[in-house]
Chains A and B, each alone.
Chain A
Amino acid sequence: MTEILGRRPALSFLICVGLFLLTLVLPLNDYVLHILTLSLIFAIFASGWNLTLGILGLKTLGHHAFFAIGAYLSAIAAFYGGVSPWLTIWVGAVLAALAGLLIGLPILRIRSMPHVAIVTLAFAEIVRLIFSNLKDITRGELGFWGIPPFDPVSFGETTIRFGLGNAWGSFILVGLFFFAVQGGLLLLLRSRPGLTFAAIRDSEAAAESLGINFGAWKLAAFALSAGIVGLSGAIYAHYVMILTPTSVAGPEMLITLLAIIIVGGAGRFFGPLYGALLLTGSLELLREFGDYRMLLYGALVIGFVFVAPQGIAGLKFDRLRRRRGHGTNESSSSA
């Protein structure tokens, strides 16, 4: 599991928490906090997707559909039902997980990975079209605005508010969600399920011979992955407070998140965080280049794929492995 988690995952996790706490005392302006908040939301999204795409090795390309399902269903429940977003985000996450189970049942029977990719891509497009056509509820591409932010939280005299325009509170809240998800995933991957996922990725035949019901494990992982992505979508909805079907389930979202996972390091636990911070940040920094922004962004992604095909987290792992001389008898091929 070293390849997935790195050498000292718990220590790395605590360092990340420390850096987050340090960020809270730095004099950062609202714009920087907004970028960091978006980065962390996308890092949650990418961590969920990474579970199937990287760690389990399932080449699915439709996870932005679960992001949209979580975002829209939480927003609809809060907007029309008057239910607190503190509750509706879990509704969004659970329904996204159920959608994951439903779509997972047929696609996990498909052996050909290109076909899995196409079917999941088509599923995402269907979801986008559904939210686009439910104009009476979602207002389609005109945008579903007026989504309530998370209810404020009071500690004695202090009240923390959330949503766009309340950058500090939103950053803290999203940070807490991020570390809760990452902490949960870290515990999961360090225990027997983590080993089981990695075994299935390496060889389904060998896993089956050991008594591992890989179909059931893949389905459970797919549903969990969809649920995490749905949760990130719900958090996003109550943060930005406006949704359009294309912004959450369109191809741009797919490409952005795929780039985050690849650049960060597919199948590496900390990859999504590195990728999200780098790419969300660089997209904003490149704004001053106007029309050339996306061109430069594309060049950056391609450059990273060439320089670090295993992603940023992979680069770090390879360096560690070389330094420690990991592995034995590399020279001998047979006894």
Chain B
Amino acid sequence: MLRLEGIDVHYGATQVLWSVDMRVAEGEIVAIMGPNGSGKSTVLKAAMGLKAPSGGRVLLDGREMQDASATERPRHGMAIVLERRRLFPRMSVHENIVLGAYARPARETKGSLEWVLGLLPDLREHLDATAGKLSGGQQQMVAIARGLMARPRVLLMDEPFLGLSPAMVKTVSAIMRTINGEGVAILFNEQDAKLSFALSHRGYLLESGRVILSGSGQEMLDHPEVKRVYLGVREEAAR
């Protein structure tokens, strides 16, 4: 479905991604895990067209997306939930969510809204509230709802658990599974290895802008390097 092939990204003279290859198949949840500054967010931005790659290509259903700008990609079935939600804080929740359907024909908005509120029913009671006044968890749900309004086939999520309480992390994880159950593929990034790979069908480990490991969620969790560096498990203890 979504393929990233040999993606290089530069910020000025500094290269931050080095020939990154990734793929997301239909119906998959795929995690990108890595430490701070490893380039996880840049991968998502490059996939969405928000940061132009200096090399490589992005393909959606085999079709090259280089010529499609960031503003055109939602029309092709891609949507992104940005890091730290990036809601429109002075607008109502309803207005925020409806704006997510910007790339879709206006006649679809009502149906999409009902579908989204069916997936996230807790939002119904907050529709008239000012988005900036909601709690972090509620804001994350609004951001997800906004992303879903584009009716994406693949949803990119940049640090969806950032700043959330453990209870809210569970809720958002459950929402991601529900969305995935509706046939929406998800590519997300996260620093917590256990959370990332337990939730995903497949995962990638990114370090210093390079993919150094990939596999199924369970394979990633069982990998000695992941265990040692990211889960804090000593090899002897693991045995």
List residues of chain A with CB under 8 Å of any chain B CB. 1-3, 192, 195-196, 198-199, 202-203, 205-206, 208-213, 326-330, 332-335
A101 to B91, CA, bound (A): 28
The interface bits of chain B over 119-142 (1 if a CB of A lies within 8 angstroms of the residue's CB, else 0) are 000000010011001111110100
Q: Which residue of A lies closest to B149 (CB)?
A: A210
Contact for A195 among B48, B73, B79, B95, CB less than 8 A = B95
Chain A residues whose CB sits within 8 angstroms of the CB of B50 once the complex forms: 205, 208-209
Q: How far is the CB of A22 from chain B (nearest CB, A)?
A: 33
Contact of B150 among A208, A210, A326, A327 (CB under 8 A): A210
Instruction: Please pick, from A210, A327, A334, A335, the residue contacting B130 in the complex, using a CB distance under 8 A.
Output: A327
12 pairs from A and B in contact (CB 8 Å cutoff): A192-B102, A195-B99, A202-B90, A205-B50, A206-B82, A209-B70, A209-B82, A210-B103, A211-B72, A212-B102, A329-B129, A335-B140
> Do B135 and A335 touch across chains, with their CB atoms under 8 A apart?
yes
User: Is B80 in contact with A209, judged by CB distance below 8 angstroms?
Assistant: yes
User: How many A-B residue contacts, CB cutoff 8 Å?
Assistant: 100
List 5 tightest A-B contacts by C-beta distance, closest first. Answer: A335-B137, A211-B103, A327-B133, A335-B168, A334-B136
Contacts A195-B98, A212-B102 given; indicate if A1 touches B150 (C-beta within 8 A).
no
CB atoms of A195 and B91 under 8 A apart = yes
> B228 interface residue, CB < 8 Å from A?
no
Could you tell me the distance between the alpha carbons of A202 and B89 in the complex, rounded to whole angstroms?
A: 7
Q: Which residues of B contact A (CB under 8 A)?
A: 48, 50, 69-75, 79-80, 82, 86-92, 95, 98-100, 102-103, 106, 126, 129-130, 133-138, 140, 146, 150, 163-165, 167-168, 171
- How many angstroms from the CA of A92 to the CA of B234 in the assembled complex? 78
What distance in Å separates the Cβ of B191 from its nearest Cβ neighbour in chain A? 17
Q: Give every chain A residue within 8 A of B74 (Cβ-Cβ).
A: 210-211
Q: Which of A210, A212, A334 lies at the interface centre, i.e. has the most chain B CB atoms within 10 A of its CB?
A: A210
Q: Tell me which residues across on chain B come within 8 A of A335, comparing CB atoms.
A: 135-138, 140, 164-165, 167-168, 171
With a CB–CB cut-off of 8 A, which chain B residues contact A199? 88, 91, 99
Which A residues are CB-close (under 8 A) to B138?
329, 335
Given the known inter-chain contacts A212-B102, A334-B163, please indicate yes or no for A329 contacting B88, CB distance below 8 A: no
User: Complex formed: what's the CA distance from A196 to B82 in Å?
Assistant: 18
The docked-state distance in angstroms from the alpha carbon of A99 to that of B213 is 56
Please measure, in the bound complex, the distance between the C-alpha atom of A212 and the C-alpha atom of B88, giving whole angstroms: 14
- Shortest B131–chain A CB gap in Å is 9
Contacts of B135 in A (CB 8 A): 329, 332-335
Is B146 touching A210 in the complex (CB atoms < 8 A)?
yes
Q: Enumerate chain A residues within 8 angstroms of B92, measured Cβ to Cβ.
A: 1-2
**Interface contact B71-A208, CB-CB below 8 Å:** yes
Q: Which residues of B contact A3 (CB under 8 A)?
A: 90-91
